[in-house]
Amino acid sequence: MTENMIENTSSNDDQEKIGVYVCHCGTNIAGVVDVVQVAEWAAKYLKHRGVVIAREYKFMCSSLGQELIEKDIKELGLNRVIVAACSPHMHEKTFRTACANAGLNPFMCEMVSIREQVSWVHTDKVAATAKAKAMISGGVERVRHNVPLEPIVVPINPATLIVGGGIAGIQSALEIADAGFHVYLVEREPSIGGHMAQFDKTFPTLDCSACILTPKMFSAGSHPNITLLTYSEVEKVDGYVGNFTVTVRKKARKLDEEVCTGCGICQEKCPRKVIDDVFEAGLGYRKAIYTPFPQAVPNRPVLDVANCTYYEKGTCKACEIFCAPKAIRFDQQDEILTLQVGNIVLATGYQLFDARRITNYGYGRLTNVFTSLEIERLTNAAGPTNGNVVLRDGKTAPKTVGIIHCVGSRDKNFNNYCSAICCMQSLKFAHLIHERTGATIYNFYIDIRAASKDYDEFYQRVLEEGTLFVRGKVAEITDVPRMESEKGKLIIQVEDTLVGKQRRIPVDMVVLSAGLEARSDSKEVAKTFGISCSFNGWFIEKHPKLDPIATMTEGIFIAGCAQGPKDIPASVAQGAAAAARVLGRIEQKQMALEPVRASVIEEKCSGCRICNGLCPFNAITFHEDRMVTEINPALCQGCGTCVAACPAGAITGTGFSNEQIMAQIDGLLMLNVEPEPVTA
Amino acid sequence: MSDYILYPGCSMETGARAYYDSLKAISKPIGLNLKEIDDWNCCGATEYFGISKTPAYALIARNLALAAEEANGTRKLVAPCSACYLNLVKADHYMREQPKFGRQVNEALAAGNLSYKPGSLDIHHLLDVIIYDIGLDVVEKNVVRPLKGVRVAPYLGCMVPRPDYDHRWSDHDLPVELDMLLKTLGADVVDYPLKTECCGGHMPQISPATAFEMLRRLISVADEREADVMTTICPMCQLNIDGYQGEMNGFFGTNYHMPILFFTQLMGLAFGIEPKELGFGLELVSAKNVLDAIGVKTPPEAPTPPVPPRKPRKPEGLPMPTPLTNPQIETLKKEVTK
Amino acid sequence: MTDSFEPTIIGFTCNWCSYRAADLAGTARIKYPPNVRLIRLMCSGRIDPTFVFKALANGADGVMITGCHPGECHYIEQNYKALRRFQLMRRTLQGFGVEPGRIRLVWASAAEGARFASEVTAFVEEVRALGPLHWGKNGTVPAIAAPATIQKEEVPA
Amino acid sequence: MTAKPKFAMYWAASCGGCEIAVLNTNEKILDVDANFDVVFWPVAMDAKYKDVEAMEDGSILLTLFNGGMRNDENEHMAKLLRKKSKILVAFGSCASEGCIPGLANFSDSREIVQTAYNTITTDNPNGIYPMTSYNMPEGEIHIPTILPVLKTLDQVVDVDYYMPGCPPESNQIAAVIDLVIQVVQGKAELPPKGSVIGAGDSTVCDECKRTRNVKTIKSFERIWGIAADPTLCLLEQGIPCNGPATRSGCNARCPIAGAQCIGCYGPAAGVEDYGARLISSFASVLDANEPEEIDRILDGLVDPAGQFYRFNLAGSLLRAGVPAWKKEKA
């Protein structure tokens, strides 16, 4: 019914003054596209479309090229600019700034990519030139419908939320707090410290994990600018960059943290022994009321209701009876806190690959098969065996130990990726176990990846210690002997690919260097915070190389293993980097958001609610009272999905409006060309 | 009542009659309605495929063609014999995967005015049907005489869980389906790591010494782990372990007494069906101890050694991680299938 | 007649993956036929069937829609909306007698320049094989053709 | 008497429903007579084309033109009445956007003729087909020539106003008549040229009383296939209701009565392609991400082209199916 003839689409033709600038980019473009002809053509055949000037120049992006544009804007009164050059991802900013300098709204400038999309990918000069023309004509039609846009400015709340109290989170928190801004550090477990607190030594320097972590934990715990929320989880995130409102559930510890002195008598007296499958990796016991480990921060126990005799039988209360300051509160309930923060750092870490999934390695079935975390605890002086490496019987020291690399990693049945830390970790185990037991150590590896400072040196050292390396993926670990020598042992069946032979190697203990996996709930977490997750659960960074800290959602940053497997130095670095980014934001006090946004024309909106469920950033809200939908510009990320979905055409999108795109289609199809169409 | 086309295979009426009898006995209570393929023929066993490919597959494919013809209402074909199952599945798979080969086979079939369109049948092994179609809940309902205190070593043999074209099994080396079934029947399931190792196949004819060593491994491990009985889903496995156990004992001078029963026999037993209906007594290594263990009266014969009392196994030293539970396995299965 | 026929194809790319894939194809100098002319959108979720119909009605012989791989959308899940629309669009166009092969949905990550190029090449060839799309070229209102009179003998009894 | 402004109404390819709708304004029709001099209205009074041709250009103030351009006679009359009228209104769905007759644009006009003259429902033993011209002893006689594609009025001539609906609601017609009379009496201003009159700017949902939630479609249902909740939005129940994209003005008659909106009021203000809006919105809220699953849901939507373009085909961007265009090019 509405015929979209170009003549009547554009608003007041006479006023459009468009300048077209064709770049040679040296010979990059000019070598294939006849830029001179293109410019002349534009001037002639697009005159009636408002093109008042068309120039070609060696390097438009050079200061001289930019001045050319600025000059024309001032002298010819251009109100729209087309730069036919490289990809907008390359120089859009450059030319928009140039326009702004000349007093033209930067969003009145559009780029046409005739390098990446024409000269670099086509060889036929005639066809390439024709395509360049078509693309410029498309750009011209589009820019006719551009409107001046002003960036949306939002204030930045100086407080920051950091989720995850592992080393990455702690580092981030300290950096920001030291800079004098407030930080809320939320940790799911009763204490901060994360996986690093479970380790004994750290590769390659073998310095004691606790010794370097504890001070950081302590300062995080005691820092005036850090509010520690342990044993707590984020339930809801509303708002947008600079103005997030976060709902946190502080799980009931069943004791008054203020009153409690952390003396530990309650743990001593608690009669209930529970397997600790978090901190002790299932290898040790804790009480029903416990702090996960002595150096825990905060040094306040939690009462594990699920395993407490009192909550089962209604009697006991040993902890309460013996607690001198009377801190136990059996009736304590979960607390819901609402925090106002400007930025969020997600450092939720990883979880260990469940080695039981590889049945032929027998973890969970064969008593003396251990996972890496279990070994960390075994080797840890503060661990269940005080650092004695023993078999599961709790006494016997192994004489031979097989360490298997890449368990659940680099394996298309489980995870394709390399978990990055397993090689070094296995070498560390080889060293530690040999040191503690004098046992013969076998390493079964696919490749050794020791590519970081001092890593390969450590590998050399372990080699020199006489550790045996067998190159090959282990097929099976079995306790079924075939000969006397195998009786009572675990037999590792493997093809030694260097010798090209099948080998059966009997050992006393097997260590599975299990890979790193994203937290099983990472997808929900991503949804809560409105960021994206790769299919194997790692959070997706804004750019894999140039911005591995930020996410697509403004104001939300990621650090540590939550973004992908990495070792301690890398996690710390990324934690600090995230802090730096946050501090930058805080210092600006406010930030400008790209004005590419969707908005609802209320009188056209019929409240059909088609769009209501389409926004992953919760920018769309429905007003029951007025029966209309509204879009929050600060939350809107400008994807335009709702614009395209609105059945009534009641949603418009700036920067990529229907008018702009429809006009560009006509332009690309050369419907606007006069007097006679050029033959492509 | 779920309908299935049945391909019994040669052994069911001969060596593995116990399997057939017990299958017939249990199929009613669990609502398994089997319709035997009319005029089925040999599956080609194991050797033929090594000798001459096309004829061998034409031979087995003939059964598929017949089954597909009869497949009105259902397209599910079930084979109780592992070898038959594997051959049927392979025939269907190769015909689908290699269209040229498929055409050759169909040319051969054309001689008998037959043809088979690969993929037109769902081919299952009996155990797969019972676990995933019928369901353990149905089995559980029928258990009236739990196999309490009977220690069973689950033995599947090599041919069913591999190659698992349709991702039906929880694992290819140590699948848990049979364990799950036995637990449902109330038996104590022995951790039997050799459950998918080779039974020797036709090795006893070719190289007895080799075969005996393979059998010794299977039987000794079951025995060390204090199994009263082994159970299998494969006539060939049953034949080897049952039939050659005596000779094997002679060969090594050992004295193993390790009866091996078909899983359907144990099901029947738990369902309270009369042992003789289930083909008990056909086995060479008597499974009387099993019957005694659950107090099924049998005419007294030679006194059998009393079953030694079990030592209680309480955890010592460091705790063990709990094995994966069935739901977990189900989810893992799904992941694999993805 | 399709030998000399050069199809015109309008392509819609998302700003984050496929447009960058096109950039990469350029930087890597991977060649593909010049028949495709791209329009940049912020997300494949912005794709509106109106755009596609407009292009076809105004002289394009095919339309290509590209976006991030499922699960990797920079707007988390919007490319699924593109997928859904694409499938319904294709069904509707079939009702118009338009071959489904004339619209194509391609997932290409920012790293898949080569894939982008090969997809374009393949698509151009497919559309070339389908021949020109007989629509009101250049958006002009079609002139009235010869009278649709059917003579008696022309009709099968 | 002669001072009264002239009024005309004409029907091209249409069913006559629009005329009935005008009569349904009851006594309002008397106002027309009172305020206008009805000079041409074939359905109501006898008049010859030559009478119209004889009229002075622009002498008719208001012409309500219903029906689409199916043959050259329709076109001839459209052009003629355009010449003679000050205000030409595309009256009703057919003239505005093609409506049901426009659905013929999915097929080759030859097939249409064949279907009309050579199907079992047609008694045509000798297979006689109409011919546009025939020589008789008295000379050559002509009948109108069918066009390859049905066109909307504004695809042939310049149109001042559009009045949607199949047919337009009588109360809306009455309102429009009142407006024009007021304009004639200088009491009111005419809306800007090209605007849609006698309808709202939003969509049917705006007037629909049914309760609405955030939408997801798990499957498409036929109205008779399910026991629909009388108070809940039909689309949320899987019934493909075109309401969300259809211009308001009918008071959501159909949805409120329990039948899905089929879209006779055409697209909302400023919408380029009616069907596209529906495709986009329906698809966006499908509850599936896997291609197979999406297809499964879409299988429930029989004949999407018909669903989305029942009234709008001739007026849509594509305007016709390939068969018709192929003919066009031939």
pLDDT value of residue B300: 60
Cross-chain Cβ contact C148/D284 below 8 Å = no
pLDDT at D121: 81
Q: Is the CATH number of domain B2-127 1.10.10.10? A: no
Identify from C13, C48, C52 which residue to disrupt to test chain A contact, counting A C-beta atoms within 10 A and taking the largest count.
C48
B330–chain A Cβ distance below 8 A for any pair: no
Of A532, A643, A664, the CB nearest to C46: A643
Distance from CA of C64 to the nearest CA of A (A): 13
Q: Is A393–B221 a contact, with Cβ atoms under 8 angstroms apart?
A: no
Q: Is C105 helix (H, G, I), strand (E, B) or coil?
A: strand
> How many independent structural domains does chain C possess?
1
The predicted structure's pLDDT at residue B301: 59
Averaged pLDDT for residues A3-24: 64
Please report residues of A whose CB lies closer than 8 A to that of D285: 610, 613-614, 645
Band (A195; pLDDT cuts 50, 70, 90): very high
Q: D155, A613: Cβ pair inside 8 Å?
A: no
Nearest CA in chain A to C31: A121
Cβ <8 Å between A671 and C77? no
Mean pLDDT of chain C: 84
Probe site for chain D from C149, C151, C154 (most D CB atoms < 10 A): C149
Q: Does B321 touch chain A (CB under 8 A)?
A: yes
Is the pLDDT score of A35 beyond 70? yes
Cβ–Cβ of A121/C77 closer than 8 Å?
A: no
Q: For the beta carbon of residue A316, count every other beta carbon within 10 angstroms.
A: 18
Cβ contacts of D62 within 8 Å, gap of 6 or more: D5, D6, D7, D8, D36, D85, D86, D87, D89, D180
pLDDT of residue D125: 82
Q: Which residue of D has its CA nearest to A620?
A: D214
d(CA A449, CA B248): 49
Burial class (CB within 10 angstroms; exposed 0-12, middle 13-18, buried 19+) of D187: exposed
Query: Which residues of C are less than 8 Å from D286 in CB distance?
Result: 84
- Cα A82 → chain centroid: 36
pLDDT at B50: 85
A13 has pLDDT over 60: no
Instruction: From chain D, pick out residues whose CB is under 8 angstroms from the CB of C141.
Output: 151, 155
Among A residues 568-627, those touching chain D with beta carbons less than 8 Å apart: 603-614, 622, 627
pLDDT at B88: 95
Minimal CA separation from A8 to chain D, in Å = 12
**pTM reported for the whole predicted model:** 0.73
Model confidence at A678, pLDDT cuts 50, 70, 90, reads very low
What's the whole-number mean pLDDT along residues A493-501? 96
Q: Between B37 and B70, whose confidence is greater?
A: B37
Q: How confident is the model at residue B318, as a pLDDT?
A: 82
d(CA B70, CA B89): 18
By C-alpha distance, the chain A residue nearest B219 is A480
- Choose the weakest-confidence range: A419-423, B211-215, C68-72, D289-293: C68-72
Query: Residues C94-140: pLDDT tens digits?
Result: 999 999 999 999 999 888 899 999 999 999 999 999 998 877 543 34
| Band of pLDDT at residue C150, cut at 50, 70 and 90 | very low
Query: Which residues lie below 8 Å from residue A524, measured CB to CB, with a gap of 6+?
Result: none
Contacts of A624 (CB under 8 A, 6+ apart): none
**Is C3 within a domain?**
no
pLDDT of residue A12: 46
Of C80, C83, C97, the CB nearest to D321: C97
Percent of chain A with pLDDT over 90: 86
What's the average model confidence in pLDDT over A383-390?
A: 92
DSSP assignment of C1-51 equals --SS----EEEEEETTTHHHHHHHHHHTT----TTEEEEEES-GGG--HHH
Chain A partners (3+ C-beta pairs within 8 A): B, C, D
C149 domain residue, yes or no: no
The answer to whether C74 contacts A117, with C-beta atoms less than 8 Å apart, is no
Averaged pLDDT, B155-184: 91
Structure confidence at residue A592 (pLDDT): 87
- Can you tell me the distance from the alpha carbon of D45 to that of D43, in angstroms, rounded to the nearest whole number? 6
- Predicted confidence (pLDDT) at residue D284 exceeds the cutoff of 70: yes
Q: Touch between chain D and chain A (3+ CB pairs, < 8 Å)? A: yes
Give dist(CA D252, CA D204) in Å, integer: 5
Digit-coded pLDDT (tens) for D108-164: 888 888 888 887 788 888 878 888 888 889 999 888 988 889 999 999 999 999 999
AA identity, residue A499: V
CB of A97 within 8 A of CB of C9?
Answer: no
Instruction: Please indicate whether residue B71 or residue B49 has the higher confidence score (pLDDT).
Output: B49
List all residues of chain D from 152 to 181 with a beta carbon under 8 Å from chain C: 155
Alpha-carbon gap, residue A608 to A604, rounded angstroms: 11
Q: What is the pLDDT of residue D1?
A: 46
Residue D251 has pLDDT above 60, yes or no: yes
**Looking at residues B282-295, what average pLDDT do you find?**
88
This model of the complex carries an ipTM of 0.68
DSSP state of D262: -
Query: pLDDT tens for residues D61-74?
Result: 999 999 999 999 99
Planar angle of CA A63, A67, A71, nearest 5 degrees: 180
Q: Which amino acid is residue A308, in one-letter code?
A: C
The tokens 């009997």 sit on which residue?
A506
pLDDT of D198 strictly over 70: yes
Instruction: Name the residue of chain C whose CA is nearest to A551's CA.
Output: C74
Number of C-alpha atoms within 13 angstroms, CB side, residue D277? 29
Chains touching B by CB (3 or more pairs below 8 Å): A
Q: How far apart are CA A267 and CA A180, in angstroms?
A: 37
Instruction: List the one residue out of D263, D87, D78 whose CA is nearest residue D154.
Output: D78
The pLDDT of residue A675 is above 60: no
pLDDT classification of B304: cutoffs 50, 70, 90: low
Nearest by CB to residue A360, choosing from B173, B317, B323, is B173
Cβ separation of D279 and C49 shorter than 8 Å?
A: yes
Give me the pLDDT at residue C110, please.
Answer: 82
pLDDT digits (tens, 9 = 90+) for D172-195: 999 999 999 999 888 999 999 999
Please give the pLDDT value at position A308: 94
Q: Is the pLDDT of residue C149 over 60?
A: no
Is position C152 within any domain? no
A645 vs D contacts (CB less than 8 Å): 280-281, 284-285
Answer whether A83's CB lies under 8 Å from A56's CB. no
CA distance A553 to A541: 10
pLDDT confidence bin for A441, thresholds 50/70/90? very high
Would you place residue D168 in the very low, low, confident or very high pLDDT band (cuts 50, 70, 90)?
A: very high
Q: What is the pLDDT of residue A171?
A: 97
Domain of C68, CATH number, reads 3.40.50
Lowest mean pLDDT among B94-98, B138-142, C143-147, D203-207: C143-147
Mean pLDDT of chain A: 92
pLDDT greater than 60 at residue C156: no
Residue C146 maps to a domain = no
> What's the pLDDT at B145?
93
- Please indicate whether, in this complex, the C-beta atoms of C134 and D329 are within 8 angstroms of each other: yes
- Contact in structure between A188 and A232 (CB atoms under 8 Å): yes
- The CATH class given to the B144-293 domain equals alpha beta
Spatial contact of C118 and D81, defined as CB atoms under 8 Å apart: no
Q: How large is the average pLDDT for residues A173-188? A: 97
Q: Is B39 exposed, middle or buried (0-12, 13-18, 19+ CB in 10 A)?
A: exposed
**What whole-number percentage of chain B has pLDDT above 90?**
68
For A563-620, the pLDDT digits (tens) are 999 999 999 999 999 999 999 999 999 988 889 999 999 999 999 999 999 998 889 9
Could you give all domains of chain A from N- to C-terminal order, each with its CATH number?
6-149+657-668 (3.40.50.2300), 150-251+335-349+527-591 (3.50.50.60), 253-333 (no CATH), 351-517 (3.50.50.60), 598-653 (3.30.70.20)
pLDDT of residue C142: 38
The reported pLDDT for the residue numbered A527 is 83
pLDDT at A430: 97
Structure tokens that stand for D258 in this block: 């329990």
CATH 3.40.50.11810 residue ranges for chain B = 144-293
Give pLDDT, residue A674. Answer: 65
The C-alpha of C12 sits at a distance from chain A's nearest C-alpha, in angstroms, of: 10
Encode pLDDT of B219-269 as tens digits. 999 999 999 999 999 999 999 999 999 999 999 999 999 999 999 999 999
Residue B295 pLDDT exceeds 70: yes
Say if residue A305 is exposed, middle or buried (CB neighbours under 10 Å; 0-12, 13-18, 19+).
middle
Q: Is A4 near chain D, with CB under 8 Å?
A: yes
Return the pLDDT at C72: 78
Residue D278 has pLDDT above 90, yes or no: yes
Per-residue pLDDT at D31 exceeds 80: yes
Handedness of CA B180, B183, B187, B190 (dihedral sign): positive
Identify the bridge partners of residue A343 per DSSP, sorted by sequence position.
Answer: A160
Q: A4 and C38: CB-CB below 8 Å?
A: no
pLDDT of residue A263: 93
* Cβ–Cβ < 8 Å for D20, D7: no
User: In degrees rounded to 5, what are phi and psi of residue A392?
Assistant: -70, -15
- Pair of tokens at residue A377: 């605890």
Rounded to whole angstroms, the Cα distance separating D124 from D119 reads 8
Question: Cβ contact (<8 Å) for D243 and A608?
Answer: yes
> Which of A602, A608, A666, A671 is the best residue to mutate to test the D interface, defined by the most D CB atoms within 10 Å of its own CB?
A608
Q: Do chains A and B touch (3 or more CB pairs under 8 A)?
A: yes
User: Range(s) for CATH 1.20.1050.140 in chain B?
Assistant: 2-127
Q: Identify the domain containing residue C110 by its residue range.
A: 9-137
- Burial status of residue C39 (CB atoms within 10 A of its CB: 0-12, 13-18, 19 or more): buried
Q: What is the pLDDT of residue B314?
A: 60
Q: What percent of chain B lies above the pLDDT cut of 70?
A: 90
What are the chain D neighbours of A3 within 8 Å (beta carbons)? Answer: 154-155
Residue whose tokens read 């353990």: B136
CB contact under 8 A, A614 and D285: yes
Rg of chain B in Å (alpha carbons): 20
Residue D120 is predicted with a pLDDT of 77
Are B222 and B116 within 8 A, CB to CB?
no
C152 and D110 within 8 Å at the Cβ level: the answer is no
C16, C17, C23, best to mutate vs chain A, most A CBs in 10 Å: C23
Can you list the domains of chain D with their CATH numbers? Answer: 6-101+150-184 (3.40.50.700), 106-147 (no CATH), 204-299 (no CATH)
**Closest residue, chain C, to A636 (C-alpha):** C75
Question: Over 80: is that where the pLDDT of C4 sits?
Answer: no
Token output for B209: 């010494």
Q: Is D105 on the interface with A (CB under 8 A)?
A: no
